[in-house]
Amino acid sequence: MMKGRETMGGREHQVLELSAGERSVTYPKIFYWVRAGDFHPQRAEFHSLSGKLLKTCRYEQFAMLGGRIRPTRLVLSDALKRGDESVLEYSDLKATELPDRMFSKEYLKKLD
């Protein structure tokens, strides 16, 4: 659901509110900032069921990966443990077809 618009870094962004369809997910509510015009993600906030902020993510260093412009660096900050960050850097991405059956809880349980 579109929550509104905000200016970040001198550019307009759309703010989306994403709500989970079930309660058992890790982050039942996510606020997601995407740049107006090219829809590049810029920021996300991950919240608990009670609305408490758990993590934030910054999307940085956009480049061509897998045939599209994508962020190559994600910086995740833990809102509960100030100063704790995880950085994900992507340098090679290839599109691969995966069967629908892989996207189920039952399939993931088999991976243990």
Host domain of residue 28: 2-110
Strands (E), the chain: 2-8, 11-19, 29-35, 41-47, 53-65, 68-78, 85-89
Number of folded domains that form the chain: 1
Chain segment 29-78, per-residue pLDDT in tens: 999 999 998 999 999 999 998 999 999 999 999 999 888 899 999 999 99
Contact 75, 55 (CB under 8 A): no
Task: Kindly report the CATH number assigned to the domain that includes residue 16.
Answer: 2.50.20.10
Which pLDDT score is estimated for 2? 78
Chain segment 68-102, per-residue pLDDT in tens: 899 999 999 999 999 999 999 999 888 789 899 88
Q: How confident is the model at residue 24 (pLDDT cuts 50, 70, 90)?
A: confident
